[in-house]
Amino acid sequence: MRYIIGIIMVLVGILLVLKTEWFVQNFGSNAWAEEHLGTSGGTRLMYKLIGIAFIFFGFLAITNLHQSFLLGTIGKIFIR
């Protein structure tokens, strides 16, 4: 099951990265992204960063490293 979820996440990420302009045209620009990430390309950058995150976490899910990654990065907050 993790293979299917991981592949879907990778495909969604690739779609977000490659078709960024389509998303901007159909959903409009994001005021927060334009203010904090750039003047006319902040929304595009936001979509690309979200797509890259989907690809990254998709590959983590496929290789079954998502739990190790979360424990190694934010796990120390919750484990005493």
How do residues 19-74 score in pLDDT, each as one tens digit? Answer: 999 999 999 998 999 999 887 789 999 999 999 999 999 999 999 998 888 888 88
What is the model's pLDDT at position 70?
A: 84
Spatial distance between the Cα atoms of 60 and 39, rounded to a whole number of angstroms:
33
CA distance 28 to 8: 25
Whole-structure pTM value: 0.84
- Dihedral in degrees, nearest 10, Cα atoms 64, 77, 49, 59: 0
pLDDT of residue 41: 86
